[in-house]
Structure 1
Amino acid sequence: MNLSDSQTGGVGPRRVSAMEAVLAHLRGAIERGAYAIGDKLPSEAELCRTLEVSRPVLREALRALQTMGLTVSRAGRGTFVVADAVEDPTFGDYAAGDLLEVRRHVEIPVAGYAAVRRTPEDLDRLTRLLDRMERETDTAVWAAMDTLFHLAVAEAARNPVFRRVIEEIRDALARQSAFLNELGGRREQSDREHRAIVEAIAEGSEQGAVDAMTHHLERVETTLTAIVRPARTSTHDSPRAV
């Protein structure tokens, strides 16, 4: 079974990566009960051989399963199934739902404050960072810069408490960003949303910045929900168990 070049089942040209195909395959097997709660997944070597993918690709998929809360990795023992349905992914120390709730209550008003209080230096920092993000080709580097972007918006709000809050969730933001980009193809859309935020801040439009950040976080939530609870139109879409 070669999962290295798979086509998405829905409308649109985007092709799923090898990691996405492996993840969908293993997730489907867990949700259908082919691997029950408490079961140990086959070894990495066996899965690589059966699915015809490289070990780095497989390990990315296994990490995503763990983020989704379906498995746990036990050192020296392997990967074990701990749930048969995705409830709320965890990014670092924080559950996705908790993270989104805090972001809505903090980052939306922060964007508005930034539009009113930003300095020319703030605008220069945001613009240069966004330009770098739009040129960046490395996904991991882009995710790290994504957190710097949200920190820069908080800095432009001229309240050190806001920056401290974003600093606290910075690692979780980077993990969430990488997760959504890998599984939801969010990067180009995020760049456009970030550009709209910066433009509103540059114009000094408090409401415009609030609206742009609100839209950004709504799209993050929509993408996350689509990954966690994907539409299942037929049994044909689910791969058979290994």
Structure 2
Amino acid sequence: MNLSDSQTPPPVPRRISAMEAVLAHLRGAIERGDYAVGDKLPSEAELCRRLEVSRPVLREALRALQTMGLTASRTGKGTFVVSTGPAEDPTFGDYTASDLLEVRHHVEIPVAGYAALRRTPEDLDRLTHLLDRMEQETDTTAWVAMDSLFHLTVAQAAQNPVFRRVIEEIRDALAHQSAFLNDLGGRREQSNREHRAIVEALVDRSEQDAIDAMTHHLERVETTLTAIVRPHRTAPTDPLTEGGEQE
């Protein structure tokens, strides 16, 4: 995966969640050196008090910091800073982002083409029903579970058990990546549109359209990941102290 500067124009600014605001605050503090490598972050109770957020919101932000490679949690001891800059290749489950995306490009793109040629009416019913549920779902955890199931169902439609086995192997990593991109990149609505394009190509039995739709989907995943790991900004901002817009 190439996490170099993207040529894609930046997305339209959106309101940020409480978790994103907490993450930006803690990430900024680490990158500025307020917390040095080896330092222990304040306890969850203390951070919740200082930042005026609930424990679930704080824990989501702390998990994101770990995924980005900035901190590590030590059982019974707390959370410690391990780097002052995010890892350019974060880890999702058992796999790095670059390894995951490389496999997805080489497997899921041709799989989409095969699925367009081989899908059954039952496959289309499952995918359409799943996509309808995803477009109506508001809970991130539930949506993430359906997201990985969507990709597994496309692999099933290709009618090759090896493809299904490969996606099953990386399914947990896909869910971790999906949660990360949705929490920090607001990817859900865009993903729904991209998934819809994939399903429409399968309905039309268009191999090339399916390949193109899956290619576009994976490219957008990579672009969003790049923007999170290496954000384009002229100066760090802290939405908790500088009046950033939150939701």
TM more than 0.5: yes
Task: Name the counterpart of 2:151.
Answer: 150
Deviations 1:103-125 (A, max 9, x none): 11100000000011111111111
Task: Name the counterpart of 1:54.
Answer: 54
Matched, 1:108 2:109: yes
Task: Name the counterpart of 2:71.
Answer: 71
Task: Name the counterpart of 1:225.
Answer: 226
Residues 201, 11 of structure 1: CA spacing in aligned structure 2 closer, same or farther, 3 A cutoff? closer
Distance 1:95 1:202 in 2: 33
Gaps of at least 5 residues in structure 1 are 1-9
Alignment of 1:16-165 (within 5 A): 16-87=16-87, 88-165=89-166
* Matched residues, number: 231
Q: Give the residue type in structure 2 aligned to 1:144.
A: A
Q: Give the residue type in structure 2 aligned to 1:226.
A: A
Structure-2-length-normalised TM-score = 0.90
Distance 1:182 1:240 in 2: 17
Q: Secondary structure at the match of 2:231?
A: coil
CA apart distance, 1:89: 1.5
Task: Name the counterpart of 2:212.
Answer: 211
State whether residues 117 and 157 of structure 1, in contact with CA within 8 Å, keep that contact through their aligned partners in structure 2: yes
Distance 1:234 1:31 in 2: 12
Q: Give the residue type in structure 2 aligned to 1:72.
A: A
Q: Give the residue type in structure 2 aligned to 1:52.
A: E
Distance 1:28 1:95 in 2: 24
State whether residues 29 and 240 of structure 1, in contact with CA within 8 Å, keep that contact through their aligned partners in structure 2: no
CA apart distance, 1:211: 0.2
CA apart distance, 1:238: 4.4
Residues 13, 69 of structure 1: CA spacing in aligned structure 2 closer, same or farther, 3 A cutoff? closer
CA apart distance, 1:13: 5.6
State whether residues 29 and 239 of structure 1, in contact with CA within 8 Å, keep that contact through their aligned partners in structure 2: no
Residues 114, 200 of structure 1: CA spacing in aligned structure 2 closer, same or farther, 3 A cutoff? same
CA apart distance, 1:48: 1.1
Distance 2:165 2:135 in 1: 26
CA apart distance, 1:239: 6.5
User: Which structure's relative contact order is higher, taking Cα pairs within 8 Å and 6+ residues apart?
Assistant: 2
Task: Name the counterpart of 2:196.
Answer: 195
Q: What is the RMSD computed on CA atoms of the aligned residues?
A: 1.6
CA apart distance, 1:234: 2.5
Deviations 1:102-156 (A, max 9, x none): 1111000000000111111111111111111111121101100011110110001
Distance 2:50 2:207 in 1: 55
Distance 1:240 1:84 in 2: 20
Structure-1-length-normalised TM-score = 0.92
Quote the sequence identity (%): 81
Q: Secondary structure at the match of 1:227?
A: helix
Q: Give the residue type in structure 1 aligned to 2:59.
A: R
